[in-house]
A and B are shown apart, each in its own frame.
Chain A
Amino acid sequence: MSILTWARTRSPWLIHFNAGACNACDIEVVAALTPRFDVERFGALIKGSPRHADVMVVSGSVPRKIRDRLKRIYEQMPTPKFVVAVGSCAISGGVFQDCYNVMEGVDKIIPVDAYIPGCPPKPEAILDGVVKLLMSAGY
């Protein structure tokens, strides 16, 4: 594989965006950093700016007000970029499917590469999803 792919898959930098979630998925994503689960052993770091990131981790059923912000942040990331949808609200709206302000699913706004189901998914499931994404990208 090319050296670029080798470099990119061994140190994916993540950005985490909460698109109107109840916070359960977000604290499991942050718990994936902590010493017991430790996503940093795969080379992943959580960064603050979308311009430094390779992978965007999105959680939440997307309410109307945050739709444009999500698209803006996706467009600010440099290619090649991946999107991971965490939690059943990000996949299809989850338990909020019949609510007037909810766009059901992140993939109606931006293209998604990996889905991690659960409500909320355990940190081990999030690590498993991230590793599978890296393997499919050529790890």
Chain B
Amino acid sequence: MSIEEHTKIVEDLVKEFGEENIYNTKVPRAYRAFAHVKREKLRDIVRYLKEEHGFVHITTISGVDMRENYEVVYHLRSEGFSFSLKVPVPKDDPKVPSIVDILNGAVLYEREVNDLLGIFPEGHPDPKRLILAYDWPEGVHPLRKEWDIQTIREKVDGKRWGKDVE
């Protein structure tokens, strides 16, 4: 497939949902596209992409702490074309709707984003802790920019330690 065909898919999506729900679209080269998506329309857009354009595979879900808000990036793939949907999430309301019933493979990725950034997937069947230790304190989400290595160690172990402390 060529870059023209991929651009056409993105334009068809914008025409279907409107410019206020999908904005900042970019197609930097063949097989790659990025777009910002409003949080309320996420489930409809993912369902439309799955049924109309064959995006049945979810590669991963990344969480990013852009300083003024969070962004959750859904990387979908259809036969080589990787389309990344970025959902801005405000810092005082860290929640996203879960897409596990549309794309079953997303079940572990949403739990990981919840552990590391504290963004809760609403509607997830089993949103337990996935990779942090069982005695890790609540509320400490390591990938947020407010934590760095020494402040995490102070909070979890009670003291700073390491080669640059003494």
A→B interface (CB under 8 Å)? 63-65, 97-101, 104
Contact = CB atoms under 8 A, between A and B. Distances in A.
A104 B132 CA distance: 18
Given A64-B133, A65-B134, A97 B142 contact: no
Contact of B142 (A63, A65, A98, A100): A100
A100 B136 contact: no
A64 B136 contact: yes
A68 B162 CA distance: 21
Give chain A's interface secondary structure class.
loop
A98 to B, nearest CB: 6
Contacts of A104: 162
A90 to B, nearest CB: 17
B8 interface: no
A6 to B, nearest CB: 44
B153 A97 contact: no
B15 interface: no
- Size category, B interface: 10 to 19
B136 A97 contact: no
Nearest to B148: A100
A87 to B, nearest CB: 19
B149 interface: yes
Instruction: List the 8 shortest-distance A-B pairs measured between CB atoms, nearest first.
Output: A64-B133, A65-B133, A100-B152, A100-B149, A98-B149, A100-B142, A97-B163, A100-B153
Contact of B162 (A63, A65, A98, A101): A98
21 contacts: A63-B133, A64-B133, A64-B135, A64-B136, A64-B156, A65-B132, A65-B133, A65-B134, A97-B162, A97-B163, A98-B149, A98-B162, A98-B163, A99-B149, A100-B142, A100-B149, A100-B152, A100-B153, A100-B156, A101-B133, A104-B162
Nearest to A67: B133
Interface in B97-144: 132-136, 142
> Interface centre among A63, A100, A101, A104, by most B CB within 10 Å?
A100
Contacts of B149: 98-100
Nearest to B164: A98
Contacts of B152: 100
Nearest to A98: B149
A101 B157 CA distance: 11
A63 B136 CA distance: 12
Contacts of A101: 133
B152 to A, nearest CB: 5
